Amino acid sequence: MLRIPVVRPLVEQDSETLQRMLPEIPPWVKNPDIDRIDWLNRFIQLMWPYLDKAICKTAKNIAQPIIAEQIPKYKIDAVEFETLTLGTLPPTFHGMKVYVTDEKELIMEPCIKWAGNPNVTVAVKAFGLKATAQVVDLQVFASPRITLKPLVPSFPCFANIYVSFMEKPHVDFGLKLLGADLMSIPGLYRVVQEIIKDQVANLYLWPKTLEVAVLDPAKAMKRPVGILHVKVLKAMKLKKKDLLGASDPYVKLKLTEDKLPAKKTTVKHKNLNPEWNEEFKVVIKDPESQALELRVYDWEQVGKHDKMGMNVVPLKELIPEEPKIMTLELLKNMDLNDPQNEKSRGQLMVELTYKPFKEDDVNTSINEQVEQMAPEGTPAGGGLLVVIVHEAQDVEGKFHTNPYARLLFRGEEKKTKHVKKNRDPRWEEEFQYTLDKPPSNEKLHVEVSSTSSRIGLLHPRVHNTLSLLILYNNSGV
């Protein structure tokens, strides 16, 4: 039975009592680099009844197959959990230290103290007899290092959990066998304590770690699986948006779930039946879930461009390698219940061809190096160049530094977003170049520039040129 502790103010304590209390001071009081996380304790306290059931259910599911595999070796008929509950007292986090690194990872060290009242009763059946063992009054004091890595753009945003102990944890519990407290046997308590600490140290004391896989990093970081060839043919019977004169239409196309900027056709001035016949290539990462968004706009020299209509083509409707000409009715939006979609807005005709990357027979050389083949339909020596702009550090400039990165390759320019007032900008933006021929003897120009927030002046800061011949020779392109 739990007793309610007596709470007394510190001013009423004598010096000897205060000395004994010093080790119990929370670590965030003594260490400025450890954060106080009372909010997490409140969350766990509210969620503990549900966490208790979920943790116990998971523990049973993990333990039962292991037990079933081991008991035949010892001629045991069965090992069963008669009761399994973690009790009513949740663990308490007395602080947390978080490390900042340059890698795609999150490292944290929580200070955990748990003086719980669990009730774990295990029944062992053998030779027609039954024996029960009960674990009660569990205490665990530990400071594990928890690392979440690599960080990925898919929920829960990390692929693996790594857990290790920086020092041996303190574990204390009561063990009852057939109703008798075994921990009261002289000498047994200390032996059990040392055995538990040594076993935990052998398994998880740093640098050894417990690894828990959450996601497949390769699947979380979706890689290109094909190229969609889009040919914007023409539009018909568009409705003019300008009261005085005809519209100036153009088309923007973009894939869903894609952070790359949209591609645009040229503007056809004063034409409600424009013909473009312009071709584009977009890289596909998931043809089952992605779709091609097509939006027609009325170009305006000043002000916002008016949307004339849109439509969406799910990529799963396309048959690989087969060109498909589609005439799409332009809608206001993709809400089928919107009555405004019944109004005619014109039509857009496009030709789509999905060319997936094919895994050809793997040619293994003498040194067993695997060479990846180019996608079907790609010209000899062609491929896909993917450029990921991560970050810049210590960018020059004292005032109004709004840096951005600029890439130039084969006359095609791409830019990152501006990061306002930051000398250490972090972009994490991806850009793609579809290549029709090998990039031998070619260079990728990279430049970091800044604009003044006051007068809009451009200030080049640093630039570099990368040779793509090395990447190409090492199958990087």
Per-residue pLDDT of the chain (477 residues; tens, 9 = 90+): 556 667 777 777 788 887 887 777 778 888 888 899 999 999 999 999 999 999 888 888 888 887 788 777 777 788 888 888 988 999 999 999 998 887 788 999 999 998 888 888 888 887 777 778 787 778 888 889 999 988 877 778 888 899 988 888 888 877 777 655 655 666 666 776 677 667 767 777 788 888 888 877 666 666 788 889 999 999 998 888 766 667 899 999 999 877 777 889 999 998 899 999 999 988 888 888 899 999 999 988 777 888 899 999 999 999 998 999 999 999 888 887 888 877 888 999 999 999 887 654 333 332 333 334 444 444 444 567 888 888 888 777 665 578 888 888 888 888 888 888 888 888 878 887 877 777 777 888 888 887 765 444 455 555 556 655 444 444 433
Whether the predicted model's global pTM rises above the 0.85 cut: no
Whether residues 176 and 303 fall in one domain: no
d(CA 340, CA 338): 5
Residue 365 forms part of a structural domain? no
**CA quadruple 143, 149, 153, 156: dihedral sign:** negative
pLDDT of the residue at 252: 94
User: CA-CA distances (angstroms) from residue 112 to 20, 53, 138?
Assistant: 20, 20, 13
Whether residues 211 and 292 fall in one domain: no
Q: Considering its fold, how many domains does the chain have in total?
A: 3
The full DSSP string for 28-40 is HHH-TTSB--HHH
Q: Which of 184, 219, 254 is the last residue of a domain?
A: 219
d(CA 284, CA 379): 18
| Cross-strand pairs, 417 | none
Biggest CA-to-CA distance, the chain:
100
**HSE-up (13 A, CA, CB side) for residue 276:** 27
Whether residues 173 and 198 fall in one domain: yes
CA 339 distance to own-chain centroid: 39
Q: Which of 192, 219, 246 is the last residue of a domain?
A: 219
**Strand 144-151 relative to strand 106-115, pairing:** antiparallel
**Residue 272 is part of which domain span?**
226-356
Whether residues 130 and 195 fall in one domain: yes
Whether residues 161 and 264 fall in one domain: no
Nearby residues of 263 by Cβ (< 8 Å), 6 or more positions away: 252, 253, 254, 280, 282
Where does 144-291 have alpha helices with state H? 188-204, 217-220
Whether residues 60 and 134 fall in one domain: yes
Residue 5 forms part of a structural domain? no
Both tokens of 128, joined, read: 């027609």
Both tokens of 335, joined, read: 């809400």
Whether residues 61 and 159 fall in one domain: yes
Both tokens of 257, joined, read: 């779930």
Residue 15 forms part of a structural domain? no
| Cross-strand pairs, 153 | none
CATH code, domain with 311: 2.60.40.150
Residue 376 forms part of a structural domain? no
